[in-house]
Amino acid sequence: MHNFLIYSVLGLSAGAIYAVAAGGLVLTYTTSGIFNFAQGAIGMLGAFTYWQFTYGWGWPAPLSLVIVLGVIAPLFGAALESGILRGLEQTTEAVRVVVTVAILSALVGLALWIWPPNVARPFPAFFNGDKFTIVGAAVTVHQLISMGCAVAVAIGLAVLLRRSRVGTDMRAVVDNRDLLVIYGGSPDRVSALSWALGSSLATLSGILIAPTLQLSVLPLTLLIVNAYAAAIMGRLSRLPATFVGAIVLGLAESYGVGYLSNRGDFLAGIRPAIPVMILFVVLLALPHARLRGNVGKRSRDWFPSPPVRRSAMYAAAFVVLAFVVGPHLSVANMFTVNRAIALGIVALSLIPLVGYAGQLTLCQMSFAGIGALTMAYVAPGGSPLGLVAAFVVAAVVGALVAIPALRLRGIYLALSTAAFTIVLDRWIFTQDALRIFGWRIPLFGIYSLQVPRVQMPGVSFGSDRAQLVLLSLVFSIVALAVVTIRRSRYGRVLLAMRESPAACATLGLRLTVTKMSVFALSAGIAGLGGALYGGLQTAVPADTFSFFQTLPVLLLAVVGGIGAVGGAVAGTVLLGLFEAISRIWPSTSNLIAVAPGLAGIGLVRNPGGIASDLHAAVTQFRNRRRVSAASAGSAGDEAFEVPLEWIGIDRTIRAADIAALDVALGRGPAS
């Protein structure tokens, strides 16, 4: 009974901190319609800033708290909303998710840059952890402060949202911004205020939990995953249910520490994954979303359908280029290029699923890890059948993951896939082995897993140069397969499902089968890329396929252009370029760590990605060349070149047409 009381106190304290973080998350979502995946990163950055003021520079703790919570955090949240997130009003939900994930990635890179992880930074609890006894259980002052903050935040937010004009304006921003303006409100000011409060609450939760987790970037950032579950329990709008859910999460995690950590079996490592598993269960319990059309405005969605013959020529040229350039690369450059191409195959897996089908996912590197494990288990000698097995096993797991996720869309689907990858990251991959029906399947464990390179009779792929040719060949084949899918009936069905699930269901299309198939296909391609990526490294630790390793691949794929194979190519080039710059100029390594996040934030201005802009630039250049050539070769009337955006088609306007064109454009008679 004594231990139970101790675990209960610990759970209530942790749940109170989760409630504070989740309260800020619900506040920003209900007032802006944007689910902030970067909430934990904001709290992490605020905790580090508080440590810098208090312990790095020796400022008094009360003064540091006032400055960090009352000045820096609100200004940061308001600047984030006005400078970045306000531009997401007319973008798709996928772009909104990716931009907030990009902010998370950028803040993690920024924190690692400012505060290197190899330096110890003690973060004691408030009042040095002074304790007193309540009903036989020791309670620290820090724990009481955490619980008191949770109660104060719950009451304060309830009063703000329900009893004040500002709260009414906050809730009205999402419902109808134009109507709020008519009634004299300022949507921009209200949104900035809500993000300022959300940033302060995230920072408060980071400061409160830092003594428990210690001052470490990734654990503090992942704090928000627990807050995700609490926010989802409250349906992202109900604060009482959110706070109750946070307490349940804290107690479940604490009891897991107390009663499962001492076990010697597989369940001993389940404790870190308990909140994420609860999140997954809560997502499955949500009411089924109605099928709907895509009524939101989208910015430059681009799904090209290039000819297969031309794509095959580009693919062949890519393989030949790799064969020719390989001997001239240094060992370090060779590994950089190989790594970029292997991750490029994983990026290609995102195009059918995220690009064509519009299904948000944050677990592709987990499927890549499953592919690497399959290669190590099925083909320890490097047989090509291991690649086939990696594709098949990852595809099967992808289909199984898709079964509970079929009823989810948008941020709920992204959260469920994030929960899946964090369960693997925190629990499954850290085990030495799994035993299924008497079979022992080796896992990464606490060390690393040996993944073989592909070996074929009479052909050796053991050298780095041979790996470059193999990876280029596989990348080209997968890219051609994705192009073929885009031009097929199946590709058109995926695009139709993205545009309007309701219309697809009305026309009799089987959405369940389509979703499962595209999840399986995407997971299989990611597993293939993971098997090759693992063979490239030979000794693979578990964190190679962690949640945070998924983010750069997703960001660069979307920045490149998630609707086209060229986007994966552009993302692969960016990835290789970033790593090459970091290796050649080590002083830029911290900047390069932030670069994927900054590139993802750039989607606010360029939602279509790099590939679409390059395609538009090339098309415009070709059209101008054609117009100029037609003008130079024309006879009779003098030809004039008219900007193509005036007419929307490729043609030359002669002097006789200028008057009619001017009248049509409202420019008056021609001079």
pLDDT score at 272 = 67
pLDDT score at 308 = 86
Can you tell me whether residue 408 is helix, strand or coil? coil
Task: Supply angle C-alpha 435, 440, 444, rounded to 5.
Answer: 95
pLDDT digits (tens, 9 = 90+) for 590-629: 888 888 888 888 877 777 777 777 767 777 777 776 666 6
> Tokens representing 113?
């840059």
Task: Supply angle C-alpha 35, 37, 42, rounded to 5.
Answer: 115
pLDDT score at 268 = 58
> Tokens representing 109?
């890179």
List of domains in the chain: 2-285 (1.10.3470), 308-546 (no CATH), 614-664 (no CATH)
Contacts of 231 (CB under 8 A, 6+ apart): 22, 25, 26, 29, 242, 245
Angle, in degrees to the nearest 10, between helices 223-233 and 239-260: 130
Long-range contacts of 326-331 (CB under 8 A, 24+ apart): 326/465, 326/468, 326/469, 327/465, 329/468, 331/464
DSSP sequence for 368-383:
HHHHHHHHHHH-TT--
> Tokens representing 366?
């987990």
pLDDT score at 652 = 40
pLDDT score at 606 = 73
299 vs 613: CA distance, rounded Å: 12
Can you tell me whether residue 460 is helix, strand or coil? strand
Nearest Cα to 428, choosing from 459, 407, 409, 449?
A: 449
pLDDT digits (tens, 9 = 90+) for 574-586: 888 888 888 888 8
Asked if residues 198 and 224 have their Cβ atoms less than 8 Å apart, the reply is no
Q: Are strands 639-640 and 653-654 parallel, antiparallel or unpaired?
A: antiparallel
Query: Mean pLDDT per 10-residue run, the chain (671 residues)?
Result: 79 89 86 84 93 93 94 94 81 81 90 88 83 76 90 88 77 67 75 91 92 81 77 80 87 78 60 75 66 46 78 90 87 88 92 88 90 90 91 94 78 83 81 72 75 82 86 94 91 84 76 89 95 88 83 84 83 82 83 85 76 73 68 51 41 43 45 38
Contacts of 585 (CB under 8 A, 6+ apart): none
pLDDT score at 35 = 86
pLDDT score at 478 = 94
Put residue 64 in one of left, alpha, beta given phi > 0 → left and psi -120 to 50 → alpha: alpha
**Alpha helices by DSSP H, 58-92:** 61-67, 73-83
Asked if residues 450 and 278 have their Cβ atoms less than 8 Å apart, the reply is no
